[in-house]
Amino acid sequence: MDFKDAIRTIPNYPKDGIMFRDITTLLGNPRAFRRAVDELVQPWAGIKVDKVAGLEARGFILGGAVAHQLSTGFVPIRKKGKLPFSVIGEDYALEYGQDRVEIHTDAIKPGDNVLLIDDLIATGGTALAGIRLMERAGAKVIGCSFVIDLPELGGADRLRAGGHQVHSLVAFEGH
């Protein structure tokens, strides 16, 4: 199965010159969704995974399914102010300004092996913030899996340069 065939591309969204890669079509296709989850899990088979962490929001869908397949818990990494309990957070730079991701203080135990999941890796800013957050909570981030890599934006390379294993299912040149 070619995942590119299951992912819709929307030109000029959210602004001119951007080719938006929409995974809702993949999620709506039972065979493609199942295959994507299986392939996101495969590189980590046989490795001890204590938690799967998913980045808001599509990472919740994929990460929940991966956690189910690995029979482990799931940690939602949310945008600032969305979690109801005590949190720790990590700020990160955006093109124009800053944002923040957070987890509950009791979501990770020191020494937990955590797998980070999201739908797409672009510049890597959000993923790196998620990794730093997990590590500050005491976790060992054993790897990161994404459906889509936009290689020219360099995010996967930034994660690898930081010593993190990165797995993606499909690369799209041009963004």
Q: How far apart are CA 4 and CA 1, in angstroms?
A: 9
Residue 160 annotated among the catalytic residues of the structure: no
Residue of 8, 56, 95, 132 with catalytic role = 95
Q: How far apart are CA 17 and CA 168, in angstroms?
A: 24
- The CA-based dihedral angle spanning residues 161, 113, 148, 16, taken in that order and rounded to the nearest 10 degrees: -70
Identity (one letter) of the amino acid at 18? I
3-state secondary structure at position 83? coil
Handedness of CA 165, 167, 173, 175 (dihedral sign): negative
E strands present in 24-112? 51-55, 73-79, 87-94, 97-104
Residue of 21, 58, 90, 102 with catalytic role = 58
Residue 39, C-beta contacts closer than 8 angstroms, at least 6 positions apart: 169
Residue 34 annotated among the catalytic residues of the structure: no
- The CA-based dihedral angle spanning residues 158, 39, 141, 110, taken in that order and rounded to the nearest 10 degrees: 160
Enumerate the active-site residues: 58, 95
